[in-house]
Chains A and B, each alone.
Chain A
C-alpha cells in the first residue's frame, strides 16, 4: 500500500475498487443463450456488480445504527430490486443471470468497518462504481428498452450516492456532472 494513502482512501476507494474488481465486473458474462450484441453480456456484468454491492451494504449495516441504518437499509433494498430487474431483463434476452458469489466470498474482500464513518466512506466510494457503470452502459446497450432500464437504475444509484454523502454531512451533489460532461 502506498505510504501516502489516507485512511479514508484505504477504507473506501481502494477497498471498493478491489471489491468490485474481484467480485463484480470481473465475473464472466452469461455464456449461452442470447445472441451476440444483445446487451445481455453487459447486463450480466452490471448484475455481478449489483450482487457485490448488495453484499457490501450488508457489511456496512453492521457498523451503523439509528436513522443512518434505516437509510442504508432503504438503499440496500433498492439494490436488491435492481438485482431482480436485471435478472428479469437478462432472461428476457434468453440469457442466464450470473448468480453472484457466496456471502463469505464477498466478505473476505471487504475492509473491516468498525465505525459508522468507515461504513459510509466505503459506501460512498462503492456507489461511484454503479453510477459510472450504468451511465457507461447507456452508450453501449443496443435497444432503447434496455437503455431505459439502465437509466432508471442509474438514477436510483445517483440518489444513493447523494444519500450516503448527506449521511456523512457532505453536500448531496458532488458537482454538476456526476461522471463526465457534455
Chain B
C-alpha cells in the first residue's frame, strides 16, 4: 500500500483531470472549441483519469471527491478565444502539478508514468497556443 501522501497526491491529480474533462466536454457541447482538437484533448484527459483511478485502486483509495463546475468556466464558454485561454490556464496548472508530483511522489514506480502525463499536458499547452494563433513556444 502506498503512503497516505501518495494517495493524496493522486486524488489531487484526479480532481484536476476531472476539471479538465468537464471543461472540454462543456466546450464541445457549446462549440467553444474546434471539435477535433476538443475531442483529442478530452480523450487524453480521460485516459489520464482512468490511469490515475487505476493507481488509486492499487493504493487503496478513498471515496472520490465531489466537484462542481468552476464559475469561470461559464464565462469562458462564450467564445473560442476565451475558452482556449481558460483551458490554457488549466493545462498550465496541470503541468505544474504533474511536474511536482512526478518528483515528490514516494512510490518510484509512479514517477515516470506521471512524468509521461506531464509531457502530454505540455503538448496540450502547445496545441492550445496554436489554436489561439499565438507563438507555440514561450521563449
Contacts and interface: CB of A to CB of B under 8 A. Distances in A.
- The judgment on whether A and B are partners is yes
A147 B113 contact: no
Contact of B54 (A78, A177, A182): A182
Contact of A138 (B44, B102, B122, B139): B102
Nearest to A131: B119
Interface stretch (A1-9, A87-95, A167-175): A167-175
Most buried by A among B110, B116, B118: B116
A178 B116 contact: yes
A172 B55 contact: no
Contacts of A140: 108
B65 interface: no
B126 A135 contact: no
Contact of B48 (A154, A155, A174, A176): A176
A47 B19 CA distance: 37
Given A150-B103, A155-B99, A176 B109 contact: no
Given A166-B130, A171-B40, A135 B123 contact: no
Contacts of A96: none
State the main secondary structure of chain A at its contact with B: helix
B112 A173 contact: no
A117 interface: no
The range of chain A's interface size is: 35 or more
Contacts of B52: 182
A161 B122 CA distance: 9
B100 to A, nearest CB: 8
Contacts of B45: 176
Interface in B93-139: 95, 98-100, 102-104, 108-127, 130, 135-137, 139
Interface residues of B, number: 43
Contact of B113 (A156, A163, A165, A181): A181
A182 B119 contact: no
Contacts of A155: 95, 99, 118-119, 122
Given A71-B137, A138-B103, A154-B115, A177 B122 contact: no
A71 B118 contact: no
A172 B44 contact: no
Nearest to B56: A182
B124 to A, nearest CB: 6
Contacts of B113: 177, 180-182
Interface of A: 71, 74-75, 77-78, 131, 134-136, 138-140, 144, 147-148, 150-152, 154-163, 165-167, 171-182
Given A180-B112, A182-B54, 12 more contacts: A71-B137, A144-B103, A148-B104, A155-B99, A158-B120, A158-B121, A160-B137, A171-B127, A174-B123, A175-B44, A175-B120, A176-B43
Interface of B: 40-41, 43-45, 47-48, 51-52, 54-55, 95, 98-100, 102-104, 108-127, 130, 135-137, 139
